[in-house]
Each structure stands twice: as C-alpha cells, then as structure tokens.
Structure 1
Amino acid sequence: MKKWTTYDLAQIALLASFIAITGAIKVPTGIPGSEFQLSAPIAVAIAAVFGFKRYITAGIIASLILFLLGMHNLLNIEIAMVFRIVAGGLVALLGPSLPVLMLAGPIGSVAARWALALSLSIPAGPLLLAALPGMVFTALTVWPLKQLFEKISEKTEVRRHVKRVL
C-alpha cells in the first residue's frame, strides 16, 4: 500500500471542502420538499477522476465537517454515505464511461432514498418521486463536470511540477 504524500492530503482536503460546500447548497426544484443538493453530480465526477479511495475519504471528511457545523444531522449523513458507497462503488467497479456516470448518480439517489425510507419506516415512493428532478440534473451534468475535473487534474499534477523544478 502506497503512503499518501502531502500532495495527496492537500488534494483530499480540497475535495472534501468542495463536497462540503456544494453539499450545503440546496437547489429548489419547484416541488415542495424536493430540493436538490448540488454535490451529487460533483461527487460522481470526483469519484470518476480521482478514484474511489480519495472520493470516499473526502466524502467522510465532508460529512464530518457538515455535522460538526450543525448543517447536517445523522439522517443527512446516512443518505450521503449510502449515495457515496453506491454511486462511487458503481464507478469504481464499472469504470468512468458515459453510461456508468449517467446512471451512477440516480442509482445512488434511489439507494439513499430507499435507506432513508427504511430508517424512518415510511413508504419510499414519495421520497423517490421528490428526488426525480435531482436525478435528472445529476445525469445531465456529471459528464461535463468530469471533463472539467480531468482538465484541472492534468494541469495540477504534481509529477509535472517536480520535473520542471529538477
């Protein structure tokens, strides 16, 4: 197992803060109670570009930050972690192709809403119906976000900077 470098730790910290900030932003969809977290497509794109290990580590840190700030409660963390494990796991297992990325977010959302319904002992149908606009938004925006993160990752790759200095 490779040790994490200072660059890796800084990158994970930046990804965690990005997930936390976008996780705190709720986008209204016009349907009461169905606001959408902006972090869903960003999270799937992060998993595709930076890998599952960095993604899940950054996600845990982001959830901890939001919990400590009082912006999320344990149910929010449950939803986020189920989403991260399912969506990130699909990307890790099946690869970052367009169909996988477009389906990973909605499948992660369905799994998270199902887990929430089980936790609260309520029907999952209304929760899934309220999540539909967010699922469509995630499926449509994840690919451009992945392309953006790939460009940023290529331009900031640490190996290039080390070679230039040497």
Structure 2
Amino acid sequence: MNHRLYSLIETSLLASFISVTGFIKIPTFIMGSEFQMSAPIAVAICAVFGFKRYIIAGILSSITLFLMGAHTLIHVEIAMIFRIVVGISMALFGRHTGVILIAGPLGTLVARIVLAFTLQVPAIVLIIPAIPGMLLTAFMSVPLTKLLRKTDQQIGGKQYGKAL
C-alpha cells in the first residue's frame, strides 16, 4: 500500500475515532457536567501523529458530526478551539509528558472562555462544571498517548513496504 493511501486511510480512521469517542460521556459528581472521552483521545492523537494530521482528522470529525445533525455550530466552535489550543501547546512546547498533561485542560479552559463570550454568560459558570472533566482528561491523556504510540509503532505507517 503506498504512503499517500495509507495516510488517507489513517486520517479517516483517526477522524472516526474522535467522532465515536465524542459520544462516550461519563457523568461526574458535579450536576450537569460530564467527561467526554474524545478529549484525551484527541490529545493523544496530536501527541502521536502531529498537529497537521490531528487538525485534519478533527475538522473531518466536526464536519461529519455537523452534517449528521449530531453537532451544532456551537459544538464545532468548542471542538475547534480545543483542538487549536492543544495543537499550539504541543507545537510550541513539544510532546513531552508535562505538555500532554496540561494541553487538554488548557484547551477545555480556553474553549469554555470563548463559549462564555459567544453565549454572553460569565465564564466561571461554564468553567466550574468542566473541572472534573479537565482533571480526567489530564489523567487519561498520558496512558492513551503511550497506548496509541505503541500501537502506531507496531502496525503504523512505518511498515509501508511490508504486507499489512
């Protein structure tokens, strides 16, 4: 399989992975808040595959979910702000464990501040319910990154010349 075709398939699968895990929502102890599994998955994808592949997969995910009616423009806004902050964090500071821990919660924080501006509500009202999810994102991002990195090394694009 040639490199370009493999990259196309891999990016499509990453977009699907982001989309599907976005539907996995775990309730937290704060009423009205939940942890969305796609956040640490997205951080791991950015850490393993780099910003370009991550942002393309994220855009494809948002377009797909929007066209299916599963997301509104506000959902897309939140997701894209999150992705940009995570990507810029890793582009500026590297893909080290500390950055992986902080990138997701920072992305959520900035996305909530932008959402507060969009909705014309106090940011603290949106940030406080997000804190448990931000902590879970930080906690889950590192092991998911390690798992995704190991999987990519074992079966990923480094084997273009081998039978898959």
Q: TM-score range by the shorter chain?
A: over 0.9
Q: What is aligned with 2:96?
A: 97
Runs (4+) of structure 1 exceeding 3 A deviation are: none
Q: CA RMSD in A?
A: 1.3
- Partner secondary structure for residue 132 of structure 1: helix
Q: Within 5 A, what are the aligned runs for 1:143-154?
A: 143-154=142-153
Q: What is aligned with 1:34?
A: 33
**What are the Cα deviations for residues 57-85 of structure 1, in whole angstroms up to 9, with x where unaligned?**
00000011111111110100000000000
Q: Within 5 A, what are the aligned runs for 1:8-157?
A: 8-157=7-156
Q: Distance in 1 between matches of 2:62 and 2:160?
A: 32
Q: What is aligned with 2:159?
A: 160
- Partner secondary structure for residue 143 of structure 2: helix
Deviates more, 1:120-129 or 1:87-96: 87-96
Instruction: Give 2:81's aligned amino acid.
Output: V
TM-score (norm 2): 0.94
Instruction: Give 1:66's aligned amino acid.
Output: L
Q: Distance in 1 between matches of 2:32 and 2:65?
A: 20
Shift of 1:161: 4.7
Q: How many residues align?
A: 161
Gaps of 5+ in 2: none
Q: Distance in 2 between matches of 1:93 and 1:48?
A: 12
Instruction: Give 2:106's aligned amino acid.
Output: I
